[in-house]
């Protein structure tokens, strides 16, 4: 069943929902299998790398079709977009949710453009995520600021936009390969107490398992995970190729990586739930 984030948050308000970055059919189908096995809702997210690899009007309908056939609730979400054209296209092809990432802009520009995206999205029942503060990247090739979210700023942003959910920077960093992020739970608690909006944590591959559980209790509704599944896929694909040096059929080579992505997604969802 395809639903937007507001629907997911309303139906599932006891702990956070996992959002996984997916890059094609193989990982998307594995994530949905994981969610169905655990009877959990899930969010499939298309980021800019995925969009550059497969145009939104190709990957969107494929993910939407998988979501509609799933036995659990699934949102199909455009992740970290800064491009109005992409956001318009995502809405047009039926994404149930979009993120406008104005974290690298001034507060005023971020507010103005987020409002514009909400005006485009809401008439189509598409939910909108935005970011205040800036979750940095461990990869030096990505030039992004590292700015912790101030509770007062989050409140001002929410009051000015009425956004459906808000990504905050409280100690996570994108693309970490080890679970060593140091979450500032005090900051998160102050934001949650001050701003009555579902909160989103990005860069959650780096969050230790015991802290994934604690996030829900601190007002987090959506936990974004990407690198962990990319590692699961890439490492097992390498293994499959080394183990079967004469095999050239990609469908056969993808079997092990797909199983491993499903296992990794299930492990994260189990770590999140209380
Ligand atoms: O928006 C996507 C997430 O923030 C993914 O971050 O790759 O560090 O898990 P991650
Ligand atoms: Zn992110």
Round to whole Å and give the CA distance between 197 and 127: 13
Name which CATH class applies to 5-272. alpha beta
Pocket of ligand 1 (CB under 6 A): 21, 79-80, 174-176, 202-206, 224-228
Nearest residue (CA) to ligand 1, atom 6: 203
Q: Which residues, 6 or more positions from 85, have their beta carbon under 8 angstroms from its beta carbon? A: none
pLDDT for position 207: 98
Distance CA 152, CA 22 (A): 33
Question: Which of 103, 138, 202, 268 best tests ligand 1's pocket when mutated (most atoms within 8 Å of CB)?
Answer: 202
- Model pLDDT, residue 181: 98
How many whole angstroms from 167 Cα to the centroid of ligand 2? 9
Say if residue 23's pLDDT is above 90: yes
Q: Which of 116, 118, 120, 101 is nearest to 224 (CA)?
A: 101
Looking at residue 217, its pLDDT comes to 86
pLDDT at 86: 98
pTM of the model: 0.98
Q: Which residue has the higher pLDDT, 143 or 64?
A: 64
pLDDT band at 130 (very low <50, low <70, confident <90, very high): very high
What's the CA-to-centroid distance between 252 and ligand 2, angstroms? 31
Q: Which atom of ligand 1 is nearest to the CA of 21?
A: 2
For residues 11-20, average pLDDT: 94
Ligand 1 centroid–CA 166 distance in Å is: 15
Q: What is the pLDDT of residues 210-223, one digit of tens each?
A: 999 999 889 999 99
pLDDT(36) > 90: yes
Query: Cα–Cα distance between 255 and 252 in angstroms, integer?
Result: 6
Report the DSSP beta bridge partners of residue 17: 222
Q: CA 270, 271, 274: angle at the middle one, nearest 5? A: 80
Neighbours of 57 (CB within 10 A): 12
Q: What is the pLDDT of residue 52?
A: 98
Look at ligand 1, atom 4, and give the residue with the nearest C-alpha.
202
Q: Which atom of ligand 1 is nearest to the CA of 172?
A: 8
Sign for the CA dihedral angle at 131, 189, 142, 96 comes to negative
Residue to mutate (ligand 1; options 19, 199, 205, 229; most atoms within 8 A of CB) = 205
Neighbours of 180 (CB within 10 A): 10
Judge contact between 264 and 229, C-beta under 8 A: yes
Q: Identify whether the C-beta of residue 135 lies closer than 8 Å to the C-beta of residue 174.
A: yes
**Among 49, 38, 153, 46, which residue's Cα sits nearest to residue 106?**
153
Does pLDDT of 13 surpass 90? no
The pLDDT of 40-53, averaged and rounded, is 98
Ion ligand 2 — residues with CB under 5 Å?
202
Residue 135 neighbours by CB under 8 Å, 6+ apart = 103, 144, 146, 167, 169, 172, 173, 174, 202, 203
User: What is the pLDDT of the chain when averaged over all its residues?
Assistant: 97
Q: Which ligand is nearest to the CA of 224?
A: 1
Distance between CA atoms of residues 18 and 43, nearest Å: 6
Chain segment 171-207, per-residue pLDDT in tens: 999 999 999 999 999 999 999 999 999 999 999 999 9
Helix (H) or strand (E) holding 255: helix 255-272
Known catalytic residues are 79
- Condensed to tens digits (0 to 9), the pLDDT of residues 118-129 reads 999 999 999 999
Q: Could you read off the pLDDT of 57-67 as tens digits, one per residue?
A: 999 999 999 99
pLDDT band at 163 (very low <50, low <70, confident <90, very high): very high
205 Cα nearest atom in ligand 1: 9
pLDDT for residue 61:
98
């Amino acid at each position: 069943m395809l639903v937007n984030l507001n629907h997911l948050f309303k139906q599932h308000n006891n702990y956070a929902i996992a959002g996984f970055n997916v890059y094609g059919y193989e990982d998307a189908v594995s994530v949905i299998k994981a969610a169905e096995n655990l009877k959990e809702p899930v969010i499939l997210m298309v980021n800019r790398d995925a969009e550059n690899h497969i145009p939104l009007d190709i990957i969107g309908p494929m993910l939407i079709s998988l979501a509609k056939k799933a036995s659990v609730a699934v949102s199909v979400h455009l992740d970290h977009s800064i491009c109005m054209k992409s956001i318009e296209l995502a809405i047009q092809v039926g994404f149930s949710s979009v993120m406008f990432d104005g974290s690298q802009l001034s507060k005023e520009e971020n507010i103005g453009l987020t409002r514009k995206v909400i005006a485009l999205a809401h008439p189509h029942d598409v939910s909108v995520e935005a970011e205040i503060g800036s979750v940095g990247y461990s990869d030096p090739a990505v030039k992004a600021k590292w700015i912790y979210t101030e509770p007062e700023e989050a409140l001002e942003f929410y009051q000015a936009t009425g956004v459906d959910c808000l990504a905050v920077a409280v100690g996570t960093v994108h693309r970490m390969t080890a679970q060593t992020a140091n979450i500032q739970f005090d900051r998160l608690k102050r934001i949650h107490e001050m701003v009555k909006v579902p909160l989103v944590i990005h860069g959650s591959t780096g969050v230790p398992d015991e802290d994934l559980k604690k996030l829900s209790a601190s007002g987090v509704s959506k936990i974004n995970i990407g690198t962990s599944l990319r590692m699961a896929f890439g490492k097992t694909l390498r293994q499959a190729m080394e183990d079967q040096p004469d095999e050239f059929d990609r469908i056969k080579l993808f079997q092990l990586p797909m199983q491993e992505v499903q296992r990794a997604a299930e492990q994260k969802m189990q770590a999140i739930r209380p």
